[in-house]
Amino acid sequence: MIPDPRHPPILETERLRLQPLSTPDAHPLFSIMDDPEAMAFWDIPEIHDPDLVTAIVQAQVAAMAAGRAIHWAIRTLGDEAFVGCCSLAEIDGWHKRGEIGYLLNRQAWGLGFAQEAMRAVVAHAAAAGLRKLSASTHLGNRRSEILLAKLGFKQEGLLRGHVLRDGERRDCHLFGLLL
């Protein structure tokens, strides 16, 4: 059974709850997307317009309703503090594959939250029948490369000039995990 993005599950870990992203999550997500350091290795630069972040979240909610992706808000279990978001996107039921991604606020860096959340997403993908996951990082994003290695991902290639950001082409590493 391939994941059904129209009915995303709530995933829980030892310290986190991953809940389907909703429009009210745009407010705490704005503080992350407005942070140049948090956005340094994203395809787009930081966003200073909260309405644009709301539009992005609404588009992600629509993608879930259309069955194209699952986007989760990541919250701590105790106080339900919003620490970031993650996704299982580009879900391809025919080939049983998908792509993962994550974005955390800087205050959550180094606490193991990204690894904990992504382990839950990988386990969900495997239990739902996906057999291949991919992820990409901008060159120089060592934190994400280390995290992907801890999750068992292997570097599969270099995507030269893959992203146009701030007027320049950026290379990306492609990672894959067979489930």
**4 inside domain:** no
d(CA 63, CA 24) in angstroms, rounded, equals: 16
**96 inside domain:** yes
- Residues 16-57 have pLDDT tens digits of 999 999 999 999 999 999 999 999 999 999 999 999 999 999
**58 inside domain:** yes
What pTM, to 2 d.p., does this model score? 0.94
CATH number at residue 52: 3.40.630.30
Question: Please, which contacts does 58-61 make with residues 24 or more away whose CB atoms are closer than 8 Å?
Answer: 58/23, 58/26, 60/21, 60/87, 61/21, 61/22, 61/23
**59 inside domain:** yes
User: Domain of 69?
Assistant: 11-178
Residue 2: the pLDDT is 73
- Residues 3-21 have pLDDT tens digits of 776 788 999 999 999 999 9
Q: Using 50, 70 and 90 to split pLDDT, how confident is the model at 1?
A: low
Q: How many domains does the chain have?
A: 1
- Residues 105-148 have pLDDT tens digits of 999 999 999 999 999 999 999 999 999 999 999 999 999 999 99
**77 inside domain:** yes
Which candidate, 111, 118, 56, places its Cα nearest to that of 87?
118
CB 133 within 8 A of CB 173: no
d(CA 68, CA 46) in angstroms, rounded, equals: 25
- Residues 74-92 have pLDDT tens digits of 999 989 999 999 999 999 9
**115 inside domain:** yes
**3 inside domain:** no
Residue type, 65: A
